[in-house]
Structure 1
Amino acid sequence: MRQIKAIVEKYQIQLINAQSSKDRYTSILSRWRYGLNVKLVHTRRQTPQSVGGWLQNTFYTKGTDKIIVISEQLKKTFIRQGIPASHLEVIYNGVHPDFFAALDDNKVQALRSHYQLTPEDRVIGCVARLKKQDQLVRALQWLGKEVKLLLVGVEVGTFDELAHRLNLTQTILYAGKVKREELANYYALFDVFVLPSTTDGFGLVLIEAMGMGIPVIGTRSEGIIDVLENGKNGLLFEDGDDKGLADSIELIMNTPQVRNELIAAGRIAVQQTFTLERTIERYEQFFEALIGN
């Protein structure tokens, strides 16, 4: 906390934006302890998982000037948990254009060879840490043998036991953890992208996939429904409805018109709403208004 005080005073900082749970506590306590003359804003990206309840919410509300959330649905969650609506500001995430520029066709072909993907194979992709991908594994039961599932971000073998029980061991492929600068090459392998999470406050990977021209499917849950409009720029399925998820995948794979419409609308959504430039612009406007510049 002394370091925060020293930095604020040395550089005459007017505003602190805390991004992680540790930063949130430290920033509030530092301002209180040292009487720092700074505005304090927290950014929240996920549904709250802690059990602090009303006491923690009061601490965050009293200790900050504003809380930024990354979706309208996440805002509603915080309101239900006792944070005043007037204390919350929605600013969507955005994707950097350099993400798409990192695509390397030679690396994509090398990955296709590595995973022994044939021209007939149809690849479902998911880029996420452990976020209910078991739903995706179970959905494979209703899809053809040419359909493969490539999981990026989870440990190799995570779903081997489930896959073995369902006789799907040859269908599931693992990439493990991948460096961000290499992710575009993995997205390029996907025919469909699925995010089966129920805890994402937004779902940045969805707009990355949409920007890459990949049709997307997500759980009908908070955050994701801020990004996806069912039947317009993506498809939604109910959490736990493995067959419904399989049907959505099949619809995209077997109906070119639906696939092409979702791809086109997804790209437009990213270009118009979910760019990093737009996110930065919104942050700057918000911060300047807060400090009175």
Structure 2
Amino acid sequence: MRRKIAVVTTSVLQVKFFLVPHLTELQKEFDVTLVLNNDYPELLASLGLPVRIKLMDIQRKVSPVKDLAALTKLVLFFRKEKFDMVHSVNPKAGLLAIVASWLVRVPVRAHIFQGEVWANKQGLWRFILKNLDRLVSFCATNLTVVSQSERRILIAEKVIGASKSRVLGNGSIGGVDLARFKPEPKTRSELRSRFGYEDQHVVYMYLGRLTGEKGLHELAQAFDRVASLHPEARLHLVGPDEDNIQQSYVGLIDRHPGRIQIEPFSKTPHHDLQVADVLVLPSHREGFGVVIIEAAALGVPAIGSRIYGISDALVEGQTGLMFQPKDHNDLAKVMVEMLDPQLRNALGEAARRRVQEQFDQHMVIAAFMEYHRTLLKATA
């Protein structure tokens, strides 16, 4: 009889960008149910997932009434289905699903830590959020962390224990599909032409959720300074606007007409990245920074904030450059350094080699599958 696994997350985007290969492989050996909030119905339908889907209103942001309702529904659902394993993927899903599975004593309760909400908070709010992560750690039987630097921080902060946690392979959630993320000169030429980018233009790209905690305000300030001195600089943003970022960029766009593009959420990040000369990830917090290694697979070097998580995805001075988090002046300085084509080429080539050697999706998913087999075998 096939063992039963529930995978719980809060967003279709999480599934789209990180979980499709995991779910596909898990279903080959186990009876898998995906529990999630259907925040992008059309996208979910287009994914064609080979698993059972249970829709549940699990909000990403704090919502006490809805959170309690979701916890109750999860308890009832887990009790009815009698899963052998519950695996949660992001902070809110982890809190609700792991606590619910602990209440009904699901044998294997696994959670993935991938960037802490409290990392850039202060005072009481940081204390509360950190202790909620400690609650997840207490209720879980097994924990994975997406990067070694994040795991070290979590252990040092006494959020998780060393014996209960591990990093699979070299880190990240799912690695990079090298068959999709690869240099495509023809696609690059066509896309750059469509956006009006010429050969001499240097395109800095951000790809991800458009929110303040991703450092988009500092990026605007930094680009304003760079663009004022270097006419070849261009800025290209792609992602769902969750923080009204586009409105905050109006003044910047007015000052540098024709040099900034903001595109909505895309289903084809492997094509979007073809436009880039440099990937910029100025996050305030990050579990790993998957977009950095996706860009690297195309030979695109990265600029990242000097924080845990990003420091695993990017080797400073070898595959990209780093700057002090929240420091737009330091970011601008590094962006200017990246105008050097020889530097970009050297970093990009090294980044591509590193991804091929350490983050091939096949290697990461193989480790993920073996992890699940081992956990479920122990409870057989």
Does the pair score TM above 0.5?
A: yes
Q: Kindly provide the CA deviation profile for residues 122-157 of structure 1, in whole angstroms up to 9, marking residues without a partner as x.
A: 211110212112222222213411211001115473
Distance 1:233 1:54 in 2: 32
Does structure 1 residue 252 correspond to structure 2 residue 334? no
Counterpart residue number, 2:94: 24
Report the CA distance between 1:42 and its aligned residue: 0.5
Q: 1:133 is matched by which residue type in structure 2?
A: L
> Aligned equivalents of 1:90 and 1:191: distance in 2?
31
CA distance in 2, matches of 1:87, 1:175: 41
In structure 1, the residue matched to 2:37 is none
- Cα distance in structure 2, aligned partners of 1:111 and 1:68: 38
Structure possessing the higher relative contact order (Cα contacts under 8 Å, 6 or more residues apart): 1
Letter in 1 for 2:159: G
**Equivalent-residue separation in structure 1 for 2:196 and 2:345 (angstroms):** 26
SS at match of 2:339: helix
1:7 aligns with 2:81: yes
Query: Which one is further off, 72-81 or 184-193?
Result: 72-81
User: What SS is found at the alignment partner of 1:139?
Assistant: helix
Matched, 1:163 2:163: no
Q: Give 2:370's aligned residue.
A: 285
What's the TM-score once normalised by structure 2's chain length? 0.67
Seen in structure 2, the aligned counterparts of structure 1 residues 25 and 245 have a Cα distance that, compared at 3 Å, is closer
Report the Cα distance in structure 2 between the residues aligned to 1:54 and 1:219, rounded to whole angstroms.
22
Pairs within 5 Å for 1:147-226: 147-155=233-241, 157-163=246-252, 167-179=255-267, 182-226=268-312
Contact 1:154 1:174 in 2 (8 A): no
1:234 aligns with 2:320: yes
226-235 or 50-59, larger mean C-alpha shift: 50-59
Counterpart AA for 1:139: A
Please tell me the root mean square deviation across aligned C-alpha atoms, in Å.
2.6
Q: Unaligned 5+ residue runs, structure 1?
A: none
Other structure's SS at 2:304 match: strand
Q: Give, as a single letter, the amino acid of the residue that structure 1 aligns with 2:276.
A: F
Partner amino acid, structure 1, of 2:186? D
Matched, 1:34 2:104: yes
Q: Which residue in the other structure is 2:216 paired with?
A: 133
TM-score, normalised with respect to structure 1: 0.85
Aligned to 1:268: 353
Report the equivalent of 2:181.
100
CA 1:96–1:5 in 2, change beyond 3 Å: closer, same or farther? Answer: farther
- Answering whether residue 160 of structure 2 is matched by residue 83 of structure 1, we say yes
Residue of structure 1 equivalent to 2:36:
none
Distance 2:250 2:257 in 1: 9
Q: 1:133 to 1:154 in 2, by over 3 A?
A: farther
On the 8 A contact 1:47/1:77 being kept in 2, the answer is no
2:143 is the alignment partner of 1:67: yes
Give per-residue Cα distances to partners, 1:65-109, cap 9 Å, x unaligned.
Answer: 121110122112322143222222123121123432695935x44
Which segment is superposed worse, 128-137 or 51-60? Answer: 51-60
How far, CA to CA, are the matches of 2:316 and 2:92 in structure 1?
36
The answer to whether the 8 A contact 1:54-1:81 is kept is no
Q: Secondary structure at the match of 2:198?
A: coil
Task: Report how far residue 162 of structure 1 moved.
Answer: 4.5
AA of the residue aligned to 1:188: Q
Distance change in 2, residues 1:240/1:54 (3 Å): closer
Aligned to 1:124: 204
Q: Structure 1 residues 239, 116: CA separation in 2 closer, same or farther (over 3 Å shift)?
A: same
Partner of 1:125, secondary structure, is strand
Deviations 1:206-248 (A, max 9, x none): 0010001111111101100012121111111112333332332
Runs of 4+ in 1 over 4 A off after TM superposition: 101-104
Amino acid at match of 1:157: Q
Give 1:213's aligned amino acid: G
